[in-house]
């Protein structure tokens, strides 16, 4: 791949990525959402999927977001990339109402970085996510200061390639303002305000949301969310539906832990749930079982190749076979390497 590769972009590891989700205290007149909001609503960059009469999944511009209409305002789970979060906030406000609270399922930029656009002090994430968000801010600020125009350009290249969002008039002012704001940001970021250890329950009117940390899986700071009233399971990136998963070893990922996390989700889920994945369309519990099987299949493939004496390099060149039609295909080779390293105890 050229430009920012998906691993660097999503995990916030590339020099030009936006691995950051700090929140400033908004100055009067400085809200990104105030920029031509009415004119740009007609050109939505997102795809909204109804989950019920008062719930939606929003695709494009980052990982999937979930929007719930509750007494007192909307609740938004996962917030897109940087300036794209401003476009999401604007649409949520216009379609559903003001946002009263947000939840971040893990620290990766395509789920967390839109946080500055949401004017609420009620923001939940796992405790380990806050530290990673803060640690990443300096790289974002450095990239924005070094070459803001290049950061905007390279960001849209990645948005088009990985997140189904082409450069457009509806979002470009938001992205440019985010980059300008990032360049001026102070070193110490404000991360989510309410930090979860293992579990938390939040009530919004008649709805109780359960936030559960299953242990190290996709990262060391994943949360999944249960909404039993609506029969929803919001997995964050614990589910890449028909996409090759990104295994973020630098953030504590482990495939065995990920499989245990899926077992926890399946055990905790309501009967016949609607499942909102981190990437891919709305699905069912069967997609979680398919994700679990993916790791078994890849692990067995790698172990068989190792037993034949094949090197790591040769193993990472094995074609995807039954998973060849899955999205994020460039991660297949990397995942073979991850399973090789886990099997040999190496990095």
Taking only the tens place, the pLDDT of each residue in 242-284 is 999 999 999 999 999 999 999 999 999 999 999 999 999 999 9
Q: Exposed (0-12), middle (13-18) or buried (19+): which is 10, by Cβ within 10 Å?
A: buried
Alpha helices in the chain (DSSP H): 6-11, 37-41, 84-95, 109-112, 127-146, 148-162, 172-183, 255-268, 285-307, 312-315, 331-344
Instruction: Name every residue whose Cβ is closer than 8 Å to that of residue 48 and which is 6 or more positions away in sequence.
Output: 56, 57, 58, 95
Entry pTM: 0.88
Q: Are 239 and 229 in contact (CB under 8 A)?
A: no
Cα–Cα distances (Å) from 46 to 59, 60, 62, 64, in that order, read: 6, 5, 10, 10
Q: Around 280, how many Cα atoms within 13 Å sit in the side-chain half-sphere?
A: 23
Rounded CA separation 117/107 (Å):
16
Confidence at residue 34, expressed as pLDDT on a 0 to 100 scale:
34
Of all residues in the chain, what percent carry a pLDDT higher than 90?
A: 69
pLDDT tier, 181 (very low <50, low <70, confident <90, very high otherwise)? confident
For domain 197-347, the CATH architecture is 4-Layer Sandwich (3.60)
The CATH number of 1-196, from 1.10.8, 3.40.30, 3.30.70, 3.60.15, is: 3.60.15
* CA 102-116-18 angle, 5° bins: 110
Asked if the model's pLDDT at residue 341 lies above 50, the reply is yes
> What ranges do the domains of the chain cover?
1-196, 197-347
Q: Does the fold of domain 197-347 match that of domain 1-196?
A: yes
Asked if the model's pLDDT at residue 100 lies above 70, the reply is yes
Asked if the model's pLDDT at residue 41 lies above 60, the reply is no
Taking only the tens place, the pLDDT of each residue in 114-158 is 998 998 989 999 999 998 988 777 788 889 999 999 989 988 888
């Amino acid at each position: 791949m050229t430009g920012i590769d998906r691993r660097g972009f999503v995990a916030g590891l590339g020099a030009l990525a936006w691995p950051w989700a700090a929140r400033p205290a908004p100055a009067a007149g400085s809200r990104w959402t105030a920029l031509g909001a009415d004119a740009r609503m007609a050109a939505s960059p997102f795809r909204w999927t109804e989950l019920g009469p008062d719930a939606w999944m929003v695709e494009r511009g980052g990982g999937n977001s979930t929007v719930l209409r509750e007494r007192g305002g909307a609740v938004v789970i996962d917030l897109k990339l940087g300036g794209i979060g401003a476009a999401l906030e604007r649409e949520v406000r216009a379609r559903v109402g003001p946002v009263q609270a947000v939840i971040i399922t893990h620290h990766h930029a395509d789920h967390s970085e839109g946080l500055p656009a949401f004017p609420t002090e009620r923001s939940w994430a796992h405790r380990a996510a806050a530290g990673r968000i803060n640690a990443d801010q300096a790289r974002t600020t450095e990239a924005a200061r070094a070459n803001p125009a290049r950061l905007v350009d390279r960001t849209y290249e990645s948005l088009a390639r990985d997140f189904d969002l082409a450069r457009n008039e509806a979002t470009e002012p938001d992205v440019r303002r985010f980059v300008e704001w990032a360049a001026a940001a102070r070193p110490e970021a404000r991360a989510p305000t309410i930090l979860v250890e293992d579990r938390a329950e939040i009530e919004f009117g008649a709805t109780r949301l359960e936030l559960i940390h299953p242990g190290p899986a996709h990262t060391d700071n994943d949360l999944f969310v249960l909404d039993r009233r609506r029969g929803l399971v919001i997995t964050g990136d614990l589910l890449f539906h028909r996409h090759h998963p990104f295994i973020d070893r630098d953030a504590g990922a482990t495939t065995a832990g990920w499989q245990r996390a899926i077992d926890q989700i399946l055990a905790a889920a309501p009967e016949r749930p609607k499942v909102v994945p981190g990437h891919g369309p709305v699905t069912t519990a069967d997609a979680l079982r398919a994700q679990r099987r993916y790791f078994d299949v890849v692990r067995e493939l790698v172990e068989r190749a190792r037993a034949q004496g094949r090197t790591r390099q040769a193993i990472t060149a094995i074609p995807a076979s039954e998973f060849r039609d899955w999205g994020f295909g460039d991660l297949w080779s990397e995942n073979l390497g991850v399973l090789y390293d886990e099997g040999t105890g190496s990095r």
